Every structure is written in C-alpha cells, then in structure tokens.
C-alpha cells in the first residue's frame, strides 16, 4: 500500500508514462471489486490507485486478481502504434523529429520540432492511412542490452534510454525506436484515421479505430444532409465551401472599403457641433483597430460615435474638450449597461437603445 494505491508483486497494468495514459481496470479480492482508474510509477513501484472508500478493506499480504479494461487498452495500443507510424513518416520524409506526443484512448496529439506545409502533410497522409488500414506491417519487439544497441544507434529514431536493457519496437522499412509502450501486432489493427486538427504546421490531433470510424460515419451523414439542403453532390461540398469562403472574403473587403469611405465622409461632414467640437455619428460594424487607424486622419477637435446593432457604442475623441469616458457615463446611468475607457477612447454596451444620442450629448 502506498499513496492511496496498491502495489502488486506482479501486474499487467501499464503505468502512465512516455506520453501514454495508464491502463484502467479492476482488482478482485474474493468478490470485493476495487476499481483502478489510474496507474503510475514511483521509483521501482507501480501504484494502482483505488478509491479511498475501499482502502480500509485491503491490506498488505492480501491476494487479488487484476483485470485490465481490454477495450480501453486496445484503444491505447492502436493510438500509440499509429503515433509511431506518423512520427516515422515525418522523420523519414522531412528529417523532422517529434517534440511531444500525448496518447489517449484512440486519440493522439502530436507536436513536431519544425513545421511542414499542407502539401507536405498531404504527401505522407495517404501513406499513413494505407499502413493503418490496408497495407499490413508487423510491429516487432526485442529486448536487448545497451551494448548491443550501439551498433544500431544510427538506425534508431529518437533517444536511447540510459538503462541496462532496452526495448526496441520495429516497423520494418519504416521505424526502429526505443519504447516501453503498448502496441498492436499488425498495423491494420489500427484501423481508420481521422485528422481533426492540423495547426501552425506542426500540431496534429487525430482519432483512430472505432472513434475515427464513428466520426467518419457522423460526418458522412452530415455531408449527405448538407448536400440535399444545398442541392450539391456530397463529393463537391468542399469545393463549393471554398468558393463561398472566397466570395465572403471579397464581400468583407468590399464592406471594409465602403465603411472606410463612410468614415472619411463623416470626418469631412460631421453631424453636429457641440462647444466647438465636431461630432460625427455612424452606425457601422467594423474592426475597432481599423476604426482607430482611420480616426487618426480625422480633423482636430472631433468626437466620433460608432453605434452597433447590439446596443454597443464606441466613442473616440482627439480633444480634451470632449472626454470619451465622461461622455459615456450619463448614457450608462440612463440606459443601463456596462462600459468604460479613457478620455480618448471609451465603449459600452447599453441595456436600452438611445433614441437620439446626439440630442443627449453633454460636455
């Protein structure tokens, strides 16, 4: 017994380590079931954590039978084996090492040392999926001494641990690595692969096995539903989506151009003047940084008020005569809401919409 867990004289439970989460399962003590959720290594001890509510029901010297959750273990085996393949393909094709990997149940997060392009990823993705699904390759394991591994050092991917005995995991033609994790025997046991994130050129997240299959099934049904709604073949959805993005980009740029022109017009023709301060009011939904940039071109002694559809107002001022935060305060008190800022820039979201902002200005 140690640290809220059980130490066994022998175990098949894999402890957390090497980026892989631990096994789950149970210990059976003459009908008393002790659920094991986490297993970790502390020194030479492998600790099987059990619920604190049953700690008092087990003592040193008791005999228990351990049973791992095989479905969970098999999902980890699939995940870990797939990570070896993807890391090897990236290393073999682009000479880029894996910086970090997290192995969960049929779910993998991988980070590489340098980024690759979309086209480079596409080069290896097809081969990766084929190895996991239709081109069967056997994973071989071998326990050898550290002295024996010296002759293989140039062939081994990654670091060699400083231990007397080293476990090698090999996928012929592709990979040779020191690893103590759990793996499948044949690569096609991994099954389908579903990449759900590829960011910054070096971060990958994907699913394998049944999790990937379920994701494919769900997305396939969604694609069919969208294709019916849009009256577009499912095979052409992505291309159509790309066209819509391109159109949206053009529309957004056109809107920015029009909004910029409208701001310029307001700068030249203010709505009113209060205490020798020109005041312009415009209803527009535009990135605040763009508005601030444009406001630098406004004439001196100017207060600009921007209204958005969500009862949000922005105030920009370039004069001490009209302090934006002070002008905002009466509106917050009268109409409710939250906001604040500085004398030159303030914003707030009002609960009620002011009927005529200009007539209520006071400074």
For residue 1, pLDDT beyond 80:
no
Asked if 219 and 265 sit in the same domain, the reply is no
Task: Give domain status of residue 252, yes or no.
Answer: no
For residue 290, pLDDT beyond 70:
yes
Contacts of 140 (CB under 8 A, 6+ apart): 169, 170, 171, 172
pLDDT digits 0-9 by tens, 9-55: 999 999 998 899 999 999 999 899 999 999 999 988 999 998 877 77
151: pLDDT confidence band, cut at 50, 70 and 90? confident
Looking at the structure of the chain, the number of domains it has is 3
Longest alpha-carbon distance in the chain: 91
**Contact (Cβ atoms closer than 8 angstroms) between residue 80 and residue 88:** no
Residue 126: domain span: 73-229
Task: Give domain status of residue 239, yes or no.
Answer: no
339: pLDDT confidence band, cut at 50, 70 and 90? very high
CATH of the domain at 338: 3.10.310.40
Percent of the chain predicted with pLDDT > 90: 83
244: pLDDT confidence band, cut at 50, 70 and 90? very high
What is the overall mean pLDDT for the chain? 93
Asked if 343 and 301 sit in the same domain, the reply is yes
pLDDT digits 0-9 by tens, 317-335: 999 999 999 999 999 999 9
Asked if 197 and 274 sit in the same domain, the reply is no
For residue 152, pLDDT beyond 90:
no
Cα separation, 34 vs 51, in Å, equals 8
Cα separation, 273 vs 284, in Å, equals 21
Q: Where are the beta strands (DSSP E) in the chain?
A: 5-7, 25-29, 32-36, 38-42, 45-49, 65-68, 98-104, 107-112, 139-145, 165-171, 175-178, 193-199, 203-208, 272-274, 277-283, 302-307, 312-317, 337-341, 345-350
Asked if 89 and 210 sit in the same domain, the reply is yes
């Amino acid at each position: 017994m140690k640290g809220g867990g059980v130490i066994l004289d022998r175990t098949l439970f894999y402890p957390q380590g090497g980026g892989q989460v631990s096994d789950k399962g149970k210990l059976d003590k003459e009908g008393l079931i002790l659920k094991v959720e986490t297993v970790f290594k502390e020194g030479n001890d492998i600790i099987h954590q059990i619920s604190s509510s049953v700690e008092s029901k087990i003592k040193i010297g008791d005999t228990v039978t351990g049973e791992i959750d095989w479905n969970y273990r098999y999902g980890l085996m699939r995940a870990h084996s797939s990570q070896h393949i993807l890391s090897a393909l990236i290393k073999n094709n682009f000479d880029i090492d894996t910086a970090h990997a997290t192995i969960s149940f049929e779910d993998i997060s991988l980070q590489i040392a340098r980024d690759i392009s979309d086209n480079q990823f596409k080069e290896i993705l097809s081969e990766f999926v084929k190895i996991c699904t239709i081109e069967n390759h056997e994973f071989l394991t071998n326990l050898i001494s550290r002295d024996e591994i010296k002759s293989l050092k140039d062939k081994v991917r990654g670091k060699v641990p400083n231990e007397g005995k080293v476990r090698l995991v090999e996928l012929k033609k592709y990979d040779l690595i020191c690893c103590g994790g759990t793996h499948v025997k044949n690569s096609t046991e991994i099954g389908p692969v579903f990449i759900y994130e590829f960011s910054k050129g070096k971060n990958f997240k994907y699913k394998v096995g049944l999790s990937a299959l379920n994701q494919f099934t769900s997305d396939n049904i969604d694609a069919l539903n969208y294709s019916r709604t849009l009256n577009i073949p499912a095979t052409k959805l992505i291309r159509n989506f790309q066209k819509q993005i391109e159109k949206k980009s053009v529309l957004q740029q056109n809107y920015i151009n029009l909004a910029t022109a409208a701001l310029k017009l307001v700068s030249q023709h203010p709505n009113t003047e209060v205490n020798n301060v020109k005041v312009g009011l415009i209803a527009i939904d535009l990135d605040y940084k763009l508005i601030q940039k444009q406001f630098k071109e406004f004439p001196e002694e100017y207060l600009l008020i921007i209204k958005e559809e969500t009862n949000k107002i922005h105030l920009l001022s370039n004069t001490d005569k009209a302090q934006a935060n002070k002008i905002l305060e009466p509106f917050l008190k009268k109409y409710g809401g939250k906001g604040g800022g500085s004398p030159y820039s303030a914003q707030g979201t009002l609960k009620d919409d002011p009927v005529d902002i200009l007539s209520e200005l006071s400074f």
